[in-house]
Chain A
Amino acid sequence: MSPRLRAWLFLPPALAVAALMLYGMAGLRPFGFYPGPYGDVLDAVATAQRHVLNVATAVNFDYRGFDTLVEEFIFFTAIAGIAVLFRAQVGDARVTDEADVDREIPAESDGIGWMCYGFVPLTFAFACYMAVHAQLTPGGGFQGGAIAGSAFALAYMGLHYSTYRKFAPQKAVDAVEAAGAGAYAVIGIATMIASGIFLANVLPLGEKGSIVSAGTIPVINLCVFVEIAAGFIVCLEFFFKQTRRIEEEES
């Protein structure tokens, strides 16, 4: 079927589906009038029950912590899937030489390099800051992990590949990523052993507003941060590797 024909055939059912969805959404409350009990109840009780200031974090890592465990494993599975799909095959020699590269490789710039040396640790520190303050500010392991990943992407872009590799050795990062994912499951089982219930919040709740508060929430949060950051590094690494020339990989 040609794309043009397909596009024309698409319009009538698309209009029907749009009508269906709008008909459904017309049954919702208007924008800005959230009715339901779930969010209101949690807003009211979370701070008292768990000594958190950021209720969304409490939802993520305590009330609905099991969801987050599974979401974290979706992340882990996708990275594992990328590893499987990009795995080296027997006889997979990539023959390249200068003539094959059709773009001019720009000369490396010292200025950019020095800026990276400055910004990369700064960004990474900001990522850690975001992650550690999960229950206090709109931060968390997921957000911090994504920022950490971008810090490493910045390192790749500004620095020489071999320098970048020193920041993140392959095997260590793989192990760290798996450890982060596994640790969440281990915490769940540990709490099950401690209290009989999976992912119960068994650690002392501490004082509202301090970094060490809310029991297991910061612990789980740090595991997630580690896993997401390591996961992004591994993922980016696979993509960056696709463009390297063989000789440079050896170094």
Chain B
Amino acid sequence: MYNEKVIDHFSNPRNVGELENADAIGEHGSFKCGDTMKIYLKIKNDRIEDVRFQTYGCGAAIASSSMLTEMVKGKTIDEAMQITNQDVADELGGLPPLKLHCSNLAADALHNAIENYRKGKENVKQD
């Protein structure tokens, strides 16, 4: 049911773990099936320099998390905001239809992290 690329990202996930001194942390959970992804970003000059993730979920959830981390490294945060869950699934060469709805949540977690980062910066400015 999963293609080779998905299996590869599942078995050898890239960028797993936490990031010390992360500039942004984001999280997204699927209330439908319980899958949850947490993402950590290191951002310099509005560019994503490093990224790590932790995911609770099925094979598709883990593979799409890993895929996304490869896609965002080096991108500006504006570019990263443009990435959709569908882009991640496409980059993986497709996911089973049912998984598109419940386990494809990496872009949502990323967007959450970037939103948190922007809010944080605004707060700093206001201070």
Specify whether A and B are partners.
no
**Which B residues lie at the A interface, using CB under 8 A?**
none
